[in-house]
């Protein structure tokens, strides 16, 4: 298939593009580079444009069989401070993309969603039919787009798979692409920045939760496992499969302190770190129930936390060496 990957120059989108290529699909990356990086799009056909630009999208969708939609704003704190930005981009521009797909006859759509649609869960692990009660505009914007897709399927025949991520981590095992956020809010790359002096210290937000060591428990999933699930979801639709919503996680949790200990073991030294107050809205435990994805796609996350950390460290080191040349 020939697949348009919106946000394909971003963290997860670039890994999705490579997973598609490895499976023999043709890939066209569509990105406006507001947060994406040109180096992550190297080696692919590239169209520069905004998801809300219907004219450029219509040209990009010529001869396209399917869309993988990764282009979205994704900073929870920013969404609280500037919800307009999140609803305009994640919902408004997303609807332009959906409408243009319908008009251009593209009927297979893979959506990058999030566990933030659940809010503070009543039970863990979290299944797809758990209550959806987002606690921030980012989660609301993703859930709103899911509702739109669910309406477009019976009305226009736009079949979709919505993939709700838990905590994406790690980098491609080649070390060629990885996580490049600014500001960096994810635990593993933030910890590696503290290891190299790029930040003064790693802040751990709270150690008084009702967990074994007092820090939050999260379900970390390797970005390459995520990317492979996207390809399988697309191939499910291509084989005539019905639309669905799937959690992507491991079903296993690690505390923040466990992750930090793993990082220190992989890099061979202690991190400068400090316990600070809790962040508002952080649930003590977030774990996926990934059984639906396993049954429907034959997919299961296979890479360990150590592999996530080692791959991120490899990318970080290779990038540092390249800058030093």
Query: Helix, strand or coil for residue 145?
Result: helix
Predicted confidence (pLDDT) per residue in 74-132, tens digit:
988 899 999 999 999 999 999 999 999 999 999 999 999 999 999 989 899 999 999 99
> Do 2-169+221-248 and 187-218+251-324 fold alike per CATH?
no
Q: Which tens digits make up the pLDDT trace of 244-278?
A: 999 999 999 999 999 999 999 999 999 999 999 99
Of 41, 22, 113, nearest in space to 74 by CA: 113
Domain ranges of the chain: 2-169+221-248, 187-218+251-324
Which residues, listed in sequence order, are joined to residue 276 by a DSSP beta bridge? 205
Residue 183, pLDDT > 80, answer no
The percentage of residues in the chain with a pLDDT greater than 90, rounded to a whole number, is 86
* Summary mean pLDDT of the chain: 94
Instruction: Write down the pLDDT at residue 324.
Output: 58
Can you tell me the distance from the alpha carbon of 197 to that of 59, in angstroms, rounded to the nearest whole number? Answer: 45
Judge whether 156 counts as a catalytic residue. no
pLDDT of residue 66: 98
**Does the CA dihedral 38-22-107-157 come out positive or negative?**
negative
Q: Are 2 and 62 in contact (CB under 8 A)?
A: no
From the list 138, 152, 165, 220, the catalytic residue is: 138
Instruction: Please give the class, per CATH, of domain 2-169+221-248.
Output: alpha beta
CATH node for 187-218+251-324 = 3.90.25.10
């Amino acid at each position: 298939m020939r697949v348009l990957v919106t946000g394909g120059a971003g963290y997860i989108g670039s890994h999705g593009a490579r997973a598609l290529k490895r499976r023999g699909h043709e890939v066209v990356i569509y990105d406006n580079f507001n947060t994406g990086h040109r180096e992550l799009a190297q080696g692919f056909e590239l169209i520069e444009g905004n998801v809300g630009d219907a004219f450029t999208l219509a040209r990009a969708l010529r001869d396209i069989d399917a869309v993988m939609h990764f282009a979205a704003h994704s900073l929870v704190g920013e969404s609280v401070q500037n919800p307009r930005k999140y609803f305009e981009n994640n919902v408004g521009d997303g609807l332009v993309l959906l409408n243009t797909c319908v008009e251009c006859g593209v009927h297979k759509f893979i959506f990058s969603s999030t566990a933030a649609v659940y809010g503070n869960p009543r039970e863990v692990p979290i299944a797809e039919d758990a209550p959806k009660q987002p606690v921030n505009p980012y989660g609301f914007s993703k859930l709103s787009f899911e509702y739109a897709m669910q309406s477009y399927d019976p009305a226009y025949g736009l079949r979709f798979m919505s993939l709700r991520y838990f905590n994406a981590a790690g980098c491609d095992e080649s070390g060629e692409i990885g996580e490049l956020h600014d500001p960096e809010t994810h635990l593993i790359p933030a910890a590696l920045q503290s290891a190299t002096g790029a930040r003064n210290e790693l802040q751990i937000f709270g150690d008084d939760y009702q967990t074994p060591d007092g820090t939050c428990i999260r379900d970390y999933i390797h970005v390459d496992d995520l990317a492979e699930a996207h390809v399988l979801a697309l191939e499910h639709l291509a084989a005539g499969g019905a639309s669905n919503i799937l959690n992507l996680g491991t079903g296993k949790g690690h505390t923040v302190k466990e992750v930090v200990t793993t990082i220190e073991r992989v890099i061979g030294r202690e991190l400068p770190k400090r316990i600070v107050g809790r962040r508002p809205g952080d649930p003590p435990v977030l774990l996926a129930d990934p059984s639906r994805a396993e049954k429907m796609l034959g997919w299961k996350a296979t890479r360990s936390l150590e592999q996530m950390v080692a791959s991120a460290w490899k990318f970080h080191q290779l990038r540092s060496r390249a800058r030093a040349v």
